[in-house]
Amino acid sequence: MSSRQERKGRQGLIALAFLAPALLCLAVLRIVPAISAVVESFYSESLLRGGRVFAGLSNYGDLLASKDFRQSVGVTLLFTVLVNPIQVVVSFLLAVLFTQKAAGSRLWRTLVILPIATPPAVSAVIWSVIYRPDGLANGVLDRLGISAQPFLTSPSQVLPSLIVLLSWIGVGYWMLFLIAGIQEVPEEVREAALLDGAGAWRRMISVTLPLVRRPLAFVLVADTVSNLLVFAPVQILTKGGPNGNSNLLMYDVYNRAYALGDIHVAQAEVVILVALTLAIVAGQFRLLRGDQ
Amino acid sequence: MRRVSLSVLGGVVGILFFLPLLWVVTNSLRPGSETFAHLNPLSWSTFFELRPTLRNYSALLSSEIGRATLNSILVSVATVAIGLAVCASAAFGLSAFQFRGRGLVFGVVVLSFLVPFDAIAIPLSTMFRDWHLTNTFTGLVLPGIGNGMAIFLLRQFFLGIPTELVEAGRLDGLNWFGVFRWIYLPLSKPALIGAGLMLFLFQWQSYVWPLLIGTDAKHILGPVALSNLQGQNFADYGLVFAGAVVLTVIPLVVIAGFQRYFVQSVSSSGLK
């Protein structure tokens, strides 16, 4: 063994000493529970013998046979298809708007960013009061001459109402990434486009948009992941209702584990939720790479 | 002309985003019985209170939310202190040494932040129940301290520290902990503040985990307590809104104080 290899070995031990606490935390608090969800999803409680027995795929079978679960998947996919494009487009448009030279731009930008300081559960509580029949939202509609709306108790309005609330929370955050991206576009590029006589719309579509592709792709992926895990607004505002129309998967998992006490089936649902997340994210990466 | 219309458009958007918060602040300054009194018809008095009272805030002090807010502060501060020590030391291990398996360890770190925490919160909570960590501060703090993203961020920064400095320190008789403590940490204040902010916000904003693990009166956290209060039929909305303001203002002050590092940590975690 050469002395260099020996040194590498000793360095490894010292490095391990520095790494040990974090590796232990990551292993026990992130990786083991992920593996345990997969393992537990193949077991079930045995009423006869007490304790758990290997159940194969029967938890997954139970889930797929459950009408509530199938509805929850449908609602989650519909929500995903609606909320992500809306939030990404709005964040991008706002990022473009707030990087223009105009009076008050910094102040207005700050007002859009402010809500990201509010914890999501607190935002949900605030909006539960805004959406009350006698709340602020209907007050505003009344002023505009629009009759009162049911928001959270209407099967067709509940998802749009959640999307408005989640966009209020999230758009400012995603906008920050896109503003950082736009500010990295070299000034000369924009000036060149200006000299070529490109209008504002043209400059946005053919100059700014392609140059912020990377942050835009990141925002799309990260936004999708965070929206697949939406929980607090559902638990606080709607409890999945009315008639399961806002029963997003993350809430369904929680409900199955704690209200129904079906912990093994809930673990199977966690596995499906994570798999769905990975599949959608992988799909987005492919799409984004495809049109490069 | 174009600038004026852009400015007006920006103003309208900004105010629309601000209105809910303004309404919350206004109502935290008036009795709960008046929350819905100024909404029909909407007028300037919906968003402004000429005779503000701090009574909701003083009531907050003796309420469950007051205590829960203190718990949130305790848990977040503990997470930042312990989490920074754990994450910075790991980042040092990953950046200052050459050893076999370094790539593998780094892979584990990256993998750990690709698995979304909320998704595994339920399996993790059953493990914590077996270990008798429910309704303990240890149980609340633990998941926040091993943050793969913070390790990643600190490692990026540490890699930029010149090896000559380390060699000079070693020649002067510093051991490896000394190199970490007296060379790396003092040079990395911006990165440490950025990572600390990340740990703080993760803990301050969390809801699923404290709902699963801390439900008794001694260990309940702010957002959970607030949502409990809201769920009751005879909620005092003055109190709810005062609680919402406090739970928003605390992170806001922290973010504003470290604004430069916040934008840095946000953009570097996403783009680099």
Tokens standing for residue B139: 């149980």
Of A45-59, B48-62, B84-98, B191-205, least confident by mean pLDDT is A45-59
Task: Spell out the domains of chain A, with CATH numbers in brackets.
Answer: 1-40 (no CATH), 67-290 (1.10.3720.10)
Q: Distances from the Cα of A256 to the Cαs of A80, A239, A244, B122, in angstroms? A: 21, 12, 13, 11
Mean pLDDT computed over every residue of chain B: 89
Q: Which residues contact A214 (CB under 8 A, 6 or more apart)?
A: A181, B271
Residue of B nearest to A40 (CA): B123
Q: Which of A97, A110, A117 is nearest to B18 (CA)?
A: A110
For residue B271, the model assigns a pLDDT of 41
pTM: 0.90
Query: pLDDT digits over A14-63, tens only?
Result: 999 999 999 999 999 999 999 999 999 998 887 766 678 888 888 999 99
Residue range A65-73: mean pLDDT, rounded? 94
- Whole-number Å distance between alpha carbons of B80 and B145: 7
For residue B223, the model assigns a pLDDT of 95
How many Cβ atoms sit within 10 Å of the Cβ of residue A133?
13
* β A52-54/A43-45 pair status: antiparallel
Please answer yes or no on whether B230 and A273 come within 8 Å at the CB atom: no
In this complex, the residue of B17, B102, B112 whose CB is nearest that of residue A30 is B112
Reported as a pLDDT band with limits 50, 70 and 90, residue A289 is confident
Please answer yes or no on whether A124 and B4 come within 8 Å at the CB atom: no
pLDDT at B234 over 60: yes
For residue A169, the model assigns a pLDDT of 94
Reported as a pLDDT band with limits 50, 70 and 90, residue B269 is low
ipTM of the complex in this document:
0.91
Please answer yes or no on whether B17 and A112 come within 8 Å at the CB atom: yes
For residue A175, the model assigns a pLDDT of 95
Q: In chain A, what residues touch B128 (CB-CB under 8 Å)?
A: none
Q: In chain B, what residues touch A257 (CB-CB under 8 Å)?
A: 122
Residue range B243-261: mean pLDDT, rounded? 92
Residue A28 Ramachandran class (φ > 0 left, ψ -120 to 50 alpha, else beta): alpha
Please answer yes or no on whether B207 and A232 come within 8 Å at the CB atom: yes
Reported as a pLDDT band with limits 50, 70 and 90, residue A252 is very high
Residue among A116, A127, A136 with most chain B CBs within 10 A, to mutate:
A136
Residue range A199-217: mean pLDDT, rounded? 83
- Whole-number Å distance between alpha carbons of B20 and A78: 27
The DSSP symbol for A204 reads: I
- Whole-number Å distance between alpha carbons of B129 and B132: 5
Tokens standing for residue B189: 């204040």
Mean pLDDT computed over every residue of chain A: 89
Q: Which residue has the tokens 């500010």?
A: A183
Q: In 3-state terms, what secondary structure has residue A14?
A: helix
CB B213 within 8 A of CB B183: no
Please answer yes or no on whether B124 and A229 come within 8 Å at the CB atom: no
User: A44 — phi, psi (to 5°)?
Assistant: -145, 160
CB A236 within 8 A of CB A242: no
Task: Spell out the domains of chain B, with CATH numbers in brackets.
Answer: 1-52 (no CATH), 60-270 (1.10.3720.10)
Residue among A5, A19, A109 with most chain B CBs within 10 A, to mutate:
A19
Q: Distances from the Cα of A22 to the Cαs of A36, A282, B86, B105, in angstroms? A: 20, 28, 6, 11
Residue of B nearest to A265 (CA): B123
pLDDT at B272 over 50: no
Residue among A11, A18, A76 with most chain B CBs within 10 A, to mutate:
A18
In this complex, the residue of A22, A130, A229 whose CB is nearest that of residue B87 is A22
Q: Which residues contact A2 (CB under 8 A, 6 or more apart)?
A: none
Q: In 3-state terms, what secondary structure has residue A272?
A: helix
In this complex, the residue of A107, A122, A138 whose CB is nearest that of residue B248 is A122
- Whole-number Å distance between alpha carbons of B71 and B77: 10
pLDDT at A84 over 60: yes
Distance from CA of B12 to the nearest CA of A (A): 8
Reported as a pLDDT band with limits 50, 70 and 90, residue A283 is confident
Of A100-109, A152-161, A264-273, B199-208, least confident by mean pLDDT is A100-109
Element (H, E) at A53: strand A52-54
Residue range B2-10: mean pLDDT, rounded? 87
In this complex, the residue of A26, A122, A266 whose CB is nearest that of residue B112 is A26
Please answer yes or no on whether B180 and A267 come within 8 Å at the CB atom: no
A246: burial class by Cβ within 10 Å (0-12, 13-18, 19+)?
A: buried
How many Cβ atoms sit within 10 Å of the Cβ of residue B73?
14
% of chain B at pLDDT higher than 70: 96
For residue B16, the model assigns a pLDDT of 94
For residue A2, the model assigns a pLDDT of 58
Residue among B45, B46, B120 with most chain A CBs within 10 A, to mutate:
B120
In this complex, the residue of A29, A120, A124 whose CB is nearest that of residue B143 is A29
- Whole-number Å distance between alpha carbons of A236 and A254: 13
B210: burial class by Cβ within 10 Å (0-12, 13-18, 19+)?
A: buried
Q: In chain A, what residues touch B270 (CB-CB under 8 Å)?
A: 177, 180, 215, 218-219, 222
Please answer yes or no on whether B116 and A254 come within 8 Å at the CB atom: no
Q: Which of A231, A237, A235 is nearest to A129 (CA)?
A: A237
Q: Which residue has the tokens 């487009």?
A: A89
Please answer yes or no on whether B267 and A9 come within 8 Å at the CB atom: no
pLDDT at B57 over 90: yes
Q: Greatest CA separation found in chain A? A: 85
- Whole-number Å distance between alpha carbons of A165 and A224: 16
Please answer yes or no on whether B267 and A12 come within 8 Å at the CB atom: no
In this complex, the residue of B39, B46, B146 whose CB is nearest that of residue A25 is B146
Q: Which residues contact B150 (CB under 8 A, 6 or more apart)?
A: B83, B84, B87, B195, B198, B199
Please answer yes or no on whether A8 and B98 come within 8 Å at the CB atom: yes
CB B80 within 8 A of CB B144: no
Distance from CA of A288 to the nearest CA of B (A): 16
In this complex, the residue of A18, A37, A105 whose CB is nearest that of residue B123 is A37
